[in-house]
Structure 1
Amino acid sequence: MRPPPTPRAVRAARALTMVPGDAPLDDAALILAGRRILDVGPARRVLAGFHGPVDDLGDVVLVPGLVNAHAHLELSHLRGQAPPPAGFCAWAGWLFAAARDTAPPDVLAAAVAEVAGTGTAAVIDVAGRAGAAVARALRAAGLSGLVCREILGRRAGVSLDLPPQLADAAGDGVAATVCGHALYSTAPELLRRARAVCREHGTPFSLHLAEHAGEMELFTTGRGEFAAMLAGRLLPKGWQPPGRSPVAEAAAQGLLGPDTLAVHVVSLAPGDLDILARSEVTACLCPRSNVRIGVGVADAPALAAAGVRLALGTDSLASNDDLNLWNEARALFTAHPELPGRAVLEALTVNPARLLGRDDLGRLAPGSVGGWAVLPADLAQRLA
């Protein structure tokens, strides 16, 4: 058994605890053992009588370690290989051919180190074949998170049990569960079963939803380039469109609720905002991935105004340049400069932590295990 880490302290000009009701802390200090926070508050009180090492960071703002709400770390070997933005079909066609293998251990370890090194403390990762390797890499880096075995296909009776290797690899703050891929690629019965399994595990249910206009066209009319691409591959013979938006179809299939992480939600129909808000889903936005693929970006201000809880994710290095969540915040402000800074900071911290059921993440508070991150200077004016 390893000895417990020696407590150390961090001091900074300001801290945003993200604890409801807490005001910003000026001249703040934290005492930590590893990533676990033992105390937080005004430096004068916290450091009184503390005799361990103190790292004075100077004129910076501390925030909780971030939570990346959507990643595919097993695709990290595809960094820099995606084609120029040309729409979802072009990108998906490339990915089908490129993703025959998963990231080797050294590439996966480097990707996780990048995640940790840019202020992220936890990841909700969607995995196909390398879930166990991802879980081990997260644990080795001291990160928390959830690794989701992605369910695809139309065989309603397929087992949704976790692979033994993935179940064995979980632990130390890294949980494992299942998730759906998308409405067009996973049978409705499988999606409902997957959500039920997530409830048994006490984990959120993640689903790619309304990512692009072709998905909207598929479900409303059954026509278009995307429909032609899926015919004979993922859509069963005789499949008929439900004649409603993907969001409305997900609601009709019983897939939306407070436990649902709806990833992307770029292409929405009138009424979809109300469905998402009434369902109390968390919407995970991946703005740089959406732009890189060429599908537009989600209407974050409209989602926030409707009362939809937001989270942010990097998606994979098959559709993004890096795994730095701060760059997602920058992209969001570029697309929507009117978006309130508090909403973005909540999307990076407390919202995904709440979805995970982890009150020990997303906050600077005693007992939190997410450590801290330094708010980049160029974002401080917007977020602090």
Structure 2
Amino acid sequence: MNYRKFQADHLFTGFEWFSNDSVLITSPGGEIVDLVPAAEAGEGITRVSGILSPGFVNCHCHLELSHMKGIIPENTGMVDFLVRVIQQRGFDAPIIKKAIEEGENSMLQNGIVAVGDICNTPNTVDQKKAGRLLYHNFIETMGFIENSAAQRFEASLAVYDQFARLYRTPAESVSIVPHAPYSVSPALFQMITRFPGNQLLTIHSQESTAEREFIEKGTGDLHRLYEALHIDISFYKPAKNGSLPSYLSHFLPNQSLILVHNTNTNSHDLEYVASGELPVANLYFCLCPNANLYIGNPLPDIDLLRQYRAVIVVGTDSLASNHQLSILAELQTIHRHFPHIEKVELLQWATLNGAEALQLDNVLGSFEPGKKPGVIVVKEDFSKVERLL
């Protein structure tokens, strides 16, 4: 076998720095064979400058919105952003298809090997048939009116079926998931969480102060969203037990959940998470800082999340709310605002943690024999990433 051999200034395994003298050995197809001292590696070593790392995992993306790049101006605020996405996402099919292809190409070029992708339509099915990236497809559904739950769920199930045909074991790669706590009724939550095989889910969570105000008080700026959608929400009664507990209660003990954005997550929420009373098996906190800044939301209190030992992962959100689909660009933003966080920790969020969150850590996320995690090299100042395998 013609092994591939790589050595860099630094080597990150997915969870720790490894000896700088080490050489990573892979099969020609990228399967990890071993990590050995350079003296034992033999000839044919490719030496690169920077940090050798497993490929990045993008835990939150909306690839189907790639055609909306630059359409929505920055700093609109959450409500106006949502209204504009709903009103302006309609484009001709060839434009949408081309933008999806370009979006996937950019993720490949930016060292991304797997994606948790939000799907409201089957528009990305054809692109994903090629298998260039690993995807977990989160079929998103929404409907805040109880009597529309069955109709809304059936529409999402039709999308689910089109993605399910791509996989031998659909439950491992496709889920039906709720959009956000303010857009899904209790009846629809129940249909989602009890759908057979639905063990990995995600939800837009605590993305703005308006969301918390509405969930806990029934007031605030989200009322403009319902007015724009011509939805009468006079029936709504605020949650008595707080924002996060109120909607986590819909999920089940065998389910893992990725909470996305978390810009308004506070110590009371995290005390609840740390209490051991969670209804779910695993909880992950996904950061999409560049989208937060684009929309005009604050960044999450990342130090608070770390203080409570939250399991952190990273996403890009969509090109409707970001300038690029690059996990490295997200790490750059986090590093700029939280320079005290060590790079080894940031890299773990973007590799092994992400792989675990998407339940792909048996093949991705770390340099361990038998895995095919991709091989990238990241400049030490986080300025550039290059895909090697």
The TM-score range, normalised by the shorter chain, is 0.7 to 0.9
- 1:273-312 correspondence to structure 2 within 5 Å: 273-277=270-274, 278=276, 279=278, 280-312=282-314
Q: Give the Å deviation of 1:212.
A: 0.3
8 Å CA contact 2:198–2:255 kept in 1: the answer is: no
Measured in 1, the distance between the counterparts of 2:74 and 2:188 equals 34
Cα pair distance change 1:288/1:19, threshold 3 Å: closer
The CA deviation string for residues 45-104 of structure 1, in whole angstroms up to 9 with x for no partner, is 3x33x7xxx462333221110100000000001112221203111211211111124762
Residue number in structure 2 paired with 1:43: 38
- One-letter amino acid matched to 1:209: S
Separation (CA, whole Å) in 1 of partners of 2:28 and 2:110: 20
For the structure 1 residues 23 and 29, does the alpha-carbon distance in structure 2 shift closer, same or farther, using more than 3 Å as the test?
closer
**In the alignment, which residue of structure 2 is the partner of 1:123?**
115
Which of 163, 182, 196 is the aligned partner of 1:184? 182
Equivalent residue in structure 1 for 2:149, among 138, 144, 156: 156
- The partner residue of 1:110 within 97, 102, 105 is 102
Does the Cα contact within 8 Å between 1:73 and 1:316 map onto a contact in 2? yes
Kept in 1: contact 2:137–2:175 (CA 8 A): yes
Correspondence list, 1:1-384, <5 A: 7-18=3-14, 23-45=18-40, 47-48=41-42, 54=44, 56-101=46-91, 104-130=96-122, 133-138=123-128, 140=130, 142-153=132-143, 154=145, 155-157=148-150, 158-159=153-154, 161=157, 163-170=160-167, 175-197=173-195, 200-202=197-199, 204-231=200-227, 233=230, 236-254=233-251, 259-277=256-274, 278=276, 279=278, 280-358=282-360, 359-379=362-382
User: How much does 1:228 deviate?
Assistant: 3.4
Structure 1 alignment gaps of length 5 or more: none
What do the CA deviations read for 1:116-166 (whole angstroms, capped 9, x no partner)? 111111000001113xx5354245252112011111114333336463321
Cα shift at 1:28: 1.9
Instruction: Give the Cα–Cα distance (whole angstroms) in 2 for the partners of residues 267 and 104 of structure 1.
Output: 32
- Counterpart of 2:387? none
**C-alpha displacement of 1:257:** 8.0
Confirm or deny: 8 A CA contact 1:251 1:275 kept in the other structure.
no
| Alpha-carbon distance between aligned partners in 1 of 2:125 and 2:35, rounded to the nearest angstrom | 30
CA distance in 2, matches of 1:23, 1:10: 13
Task: State the AA in 1 paired with 2:120.
Answer: G
Partners of 2:4 and 2:232 lie apart in 1 by: 56
Cα distance in structure 2, aligned partners of 1:195 and 1:26: 48
Task: Tell me which amino acid in the other structure corresponds to 1:156.
Answer: A
Q: Residues 272-313 of structure 1, C-alpha deviation per residue, up to 9 Å, x if partnerless?
A: 112234445100011010010001111111101101100000
Give the whole-Å Cα distance in 2 for the aligned partners of 1:110 and 1:55: 33
Partner amino acid for 2:30?
R
Change (3 A) 1:61 1:340: closer
User: Is the CA contact 1:135–1:147 (under 8 Å) kept in the aligned structure 2?
Assistant: no
301-310 or 238-247, which deviates more = 238-247
**Aligned sequence identity (%):** 23
Distance 1:188 1:334, change over 3 A: farther
TM-score by length of 2: 0.85
Is the contact between residue 135 and residue 170 of structure 1 (CA under 8 Å) also seen in structure 2? Answer: no
- Kept in 2: contact 1:134–1:147 (CA 8 A): no
Q: Which amino acid aligns with 2:224?
A: A
Deviation at 1:348, TM superposition (A): 0.2
Gaps of 5+ in 2: 384-389
Q: Secondary structure at the match of 1:140?
A: coil
Contact 2:365-2:373 at 8 Å conserved across structures: yes
Superposed CA RMSD in Å reads 2.8
* Cα-to-partner distance string for 1:211-261 (whole Å, 9 max, x where unaligned): 001001111211112123225645644112224543121233346887110
Say whether the 8 Å CA contact 1:258–1:281 is kept in structure 2. Answer: no
The question of whether the paired residues in 1 share the 8 Å contact of 2:63 and 2:103 is answered with yes
Deviation at residue 19 of structure 1 after TM alignment: 5.0
Please say which of residues 137-146 and 63-72 is displaced more in the overlay: 137-146
User: Taking structure 1 as reference, are residues 251 and 172 closer, same or farther at Cα in structure 2, changes over 3 Å only?
Assistant: closer
* 1:347–1:117 CA distance, 2 compared to 1 (3 A): same
Q: Say whether the 8 Å CA contact 1:123–1:145 is kept in structure 2.
A: yes
TM-score norm. by structure 1 comes to: 0.86
For residues 4-41 of structure 1, give each alpha carbon's deviation from its aligned partner in whole angstroms, at most 9, with x where no partner exists.
x9753333333111257x73442423223333323333
Aligned residues of 2:115 and 2:135 also touching (Cα < 8 A): yes
Q: What SS class does the counterpart of residue 274 from structure 1 fall into?
A: helix
Secondary structure of the equivalent of 1:379? coil
CA distance in 1, matches of 2:3, 2:169: 19
Distance 2:62 2:257 in 1: 18
